[in-house]
Amino acid sequence: MSPESVYFAEQEFNRFEEIMNTKTYLTKEEYDFCFSYDKDIREDMSYIGDYSKLGDYLNLRVYTEYLHHEHVQKMESGI
C-alpha cells in the first residue's frame, strides 16, 4: 500500500469511528458511509425515518434509555 492509500484508509477509519462512537442520530449519508465501511452496523442501528429531525437512524451504540429519560425529565421540568 502506498503512503497515500494508507493515509486515506486511516481518514476513512477515523470518520467511521467518530460517527459510530459519538453520534446518536445519523443522516442517510452517514449511515450509507458507515454501512459501506462495515456491514455489521445494521445490528447497531434502528431506522426512525421522519420521527426525528436529527437524523434517519438511531445509533444504538450511543443511545441509552437513561439519557433519553434524563432529557425528557429536563424538558418536563423546564430546566
In this predicted structure, what is the pLDDT of residue 77? 83
Mean local confidence (pLDDT), 58-69:
78
SS3 string of the chain?
A: CCHHHHHHHHHHHHHHHHHHHHCCEECHHHHHHHHHHCHHHHHHEEECHHHCCCCCEEECCCCCHHHHHHHHHHHHHCC
In this predicted structure, what is the pLDDT of residue 33? 97
Mean local confidence (pLDDT), 49-54:
86
The domain locations on the chain are 3-77
- 50 pLDDT band (50/70/90 cuts)? confident
